[in-house]
Amino acid sequence: MDRFPAPLSPGGTPQPATPEPATPSNDQSALPGDQLPAPGGQIHGADAASAAFQVASNRLRAMREYMESSADPLGIVAPLAHAHMAWLLHPQELGELWSRFGAELFALQMHTVAKLAKREDKDLVVPQADDLRFADPAWTREPQWDLLKQWYLFFTRQIQDALFQTPGLMPKERRRAAFWWRKMLNAMAPTNFLLTNPVAVRKAIETRGDSLRRGFNIFMQDMQAGTVRMTSPEDFQVGKNLAKTPGAVVFRNRLLELIHYTPMAAQVHATPIVIVTPWINKFYVLDLTNRKSMIQYLLKQGFDVYITSWRNPGADLSEVSFDDYLTEGVDEAVRVARALSGAERVHAVGYCIGGTLLSTYMAWLNRRCANEAEVPVAHWTLLTTLVDFQSPGDIEVFLDEGSVRWLCDLMRSRGYLDGREMATSFRLLRSNSLVWHYVVHGWLYGERPAPFDILYWNMDTTRMPARMHEFYLREMYLKNNLAKRDALTIAGEQIDLGRIRQPLYAVAAEEDHIAPWRQTFRINSWFKAEKRFVLSSSGHILGIVNPPVTPAKRKYWIGATRRGHTADAWRVEAEERAGSWWEDWSAWLAGKCGPLGAPPPLANDAFPALADAPGTYVLEK
C-alpha cells in the first residue's frame, strides 16, 4: 500500500483524532479565522494576509455548500480545494516543501541516470512490505520497469506527505484530502494498465493473446454484475456448501428469523446463547464451512445456540426504526430462546452493528427492569463493536453533515440503502487489495477469481431501511449520542451505558479498519461490571472467524482492564497467546452458562419448526 503517514499506527489502525474545536456552523471543514474583520476595522501588515485567508475560507465554504447540495455530495472536491488554498496562503511552508521536494527529485533523477547507464545503484524508493502490486521480479530486475515503479511511488508519497502536512487544516480535513488523493493515485498505478504492467504484457505474449481474451470476458461479466467480482458466485450456494449446520427456524416476524441449532453434544449448558448478527450483512459469516463455523464450534463445546437471520428489507419496510430492531428483533429473540430452553436468562452475543444494538438493548433492559435479577441477559459478549464513535476509523472520510444529508435524501426517495453501495464504500477503504487486485488479475491477466467463501459472503449484500439507517448514521456517527448519558431515548427508555452491570467478554481485532481496536477498547470506560478484553490478530472478519487450527496461524492478546486504562497501556501489559481466542471464550462461557444437562427440544408446539436452517430470509436478494 502507498505510505499514509501519521494517522495510521504500525498495525494500520487510525489513531484517535485530536479533539477538533467547535465551529459556528455544522461545516466541520471550516478553516481557522473564518469570520471577516468587523466593518471599519483597520488591517495592517500580517493582518492583511490573515484577512485574505479569511475571505478565501468563506468562499471555499460557500463552494463546499454548493458542491454538497449538487455535484459533490461525498465531499471529495472541497477538502482538496481547501488543502490547495491552504498551501498557497502559507508561502513559507510551501517554499520549504518545494525545497525538500527539489532535493529528493534531483536524487531520483541521478539514480535514474545511473540505472539507465547500467550501473549498480540501490533503489531510492521501495514499496512497503504489504504492497504486493510490485511483487513480480520484473519490477526490480528490469531497469525500465524498476524506474517506472520508483517514479510512481515517489510522486505518490510526495503528494500524500504534503497533504497530511497541510498547514491551517483541521486533522479530519487533512485525512479526507489525503484519502481521496490516495484513491486517485491508487487508480493511476502503472500496474492497472496493460502497457505499463510487465506481467500483463508477458502473459499476453506467452498465451498469444489468450489472457487478454479471457480478461475481456471477465470484464464483461463484471460489467453485467455491476461490480468487480472477488469470487465466482456459482462456486457457492447457501444451504448447500455454506451455512450447513442443522437447525430450524423457530420464530419469524417482519424483521428476522430466529434459528435454533440442533445440539452436537450429548449434554448442553443450561444457559442458551443468543447471537445478534449485523443486519448490514447476512448471518452465515459465523457459519461458513464446517471448519470455519463458530456456530458448530459452540455446539460441539456443549452450548445451546440461537442466531438472528435478519430480513433483507425493501421499500415496504422503509419506516422501520432502530427501536423496532431492538423490540421486534433482539428482545423477541431473547424471549423465544428463554421460553424454548426453559432458562431464566440467556448469554447474548453481538457482532459489529449487532453489538451496537445489543449494547443499546442492555442499557435499555437495565433501565427498564426493577433490579439486576430481572434482566433476562445474565452476561454478554461483544465482537468488534463500537459504542463510542468519536474516532470510528477510515469510514469517517465518508461521513459529515453534507454526505449524510445527501445519503438520507437518496434513501428516502427509494425507502432503503442498497447493500451494494455500502459494500462499495467498504471496498474503497482498501481499494488496492479489494478492487484493483481483482481488476489486474481478472481483466489484465485473464485469471478467474479463486473460490473464497468469505468473499462470496461479502458480495451477498443486504439493504437497510431508510429510517433506521438515517438514525444510525446521525445519532451514532455524527452525534456520538450512544456514548452520552441519556442522550438517546429508545423504545421509551433513556439510554445510559453506565447502568449496565452484567459481565462482559469483549473481542477486538488488531487490523480492523471498520471498528478500530483502540476505539472499541473504550467499551471498558463505560461498563462497570466484570470485563474480559481480548485483542485478536487480523481484521474485522478474519479476527472473528478464527477457528482453532494446528499449527496455530494466528494469535491474540488478553489481559485485565482497570479504570483509566488506555488501550496502549493495556496492550503493553497483556499476555500474548498463540492460537484462537475461541478456546479462551469457550472456557469463560462454560464458567458462566450453568451446569450441563439434557438438550432442550429443537422446537415445540409454541415455537414449531417453520423451516430448516438456514431459513428463508437469508436467501432473499
Residues with a known catalytic role: 352
DSSP secondary structure code for residue 305 in this structure: E
Closest of 298, 317, 318 to residue 307, by C-alpha: 298
Query: Where are the strands (E) in 262-323, listed by range?
Result: 268-269, 273-276, 305-310
Q: Counting Cβ atoms within 10 Å, is residue 45 exposed (0-12), middle (13-18) or buried (19+)? A: exposed
Nearest CA among 612, 288, 616 for reference residue 452: 288
**Other CB atoms within 10 Å distance of the CB of residue 163:** 26
Strand, helix or coil at 400? coil
Q: Identify whether 465 is preceded by a cis peptide bond (ω within 30 of 0).
A: no
H helices of 188-302, in order, are 198-206, 210-225, 294-300
Q: Three cell numbers at 550?
A: 494446528
Please work out, in degrees rounded to the nearest 5, the angle formed at the alpha carbon of residue 307 by the alpha carbons of 306 and 309: 145
The residues, any chain, with a CB within 8 Å of residue 345's CB and separated by 6 or more, are 271, 338, 375, 376, 377, 378
Judging by beta carbons within 10 Å of its beta carbon (0-12, 13-18, 19+), is residue 598 exposed, middle or buried? exposed
| Strand residues in 167-261 grouped as ranges (E) | 247-252, 256-261
Nearest Cα neighbor of 282 from 459, 516, 427 is 459
- Residues 310 and 614: beta-carbon distance below 8 Å: no
- Residue 615 CB neighbour total at 10 angstroms: 26
| CA pair distance 533, 514, nearest whole angstrom | 18
Query: Distances from the Cα of 611 to the Cαs of 106, 242, 383, 536, in angstroms?
Result: 70, 17, 28, 35
Quickly count: other Cβ atoms within 10 Å of residue 172's Cβ.
19
- Let me know: does 408 contact 400? Beta carbons within 8 Å: no
Which grid cell sits at 592?
Answer: 458462566
Cα 26 to Cα 30, 67, 393, 402, 478: the distances in Å are 9, 15, 21, 9, 10
- Using an 8 Å Cβ cutoff, are 174 and 83 in contact? yes
- Helix (H) or strand (E) segment spanning residue 336: helix 331-341
- What the block records as the C-alpha cell of 308 is 438472528
What is the H or E stretch that residue 505 is in? strand 504-509
Torsion over CA: 329, 330, 332, 336 (sign): positive
- Of the candidates 477, 536, 484, 481, the residue with the CA atom closest to the CA atom of residue 506: 536
CB 27 within 8 Å of CB 401:
yes
Angle between helices 401-414 and 46-69 (to 10 degrees): 10
- Per DSSP, the three-state class of 350 is strand
Please provide the size of the chain in residues. Answer: 621
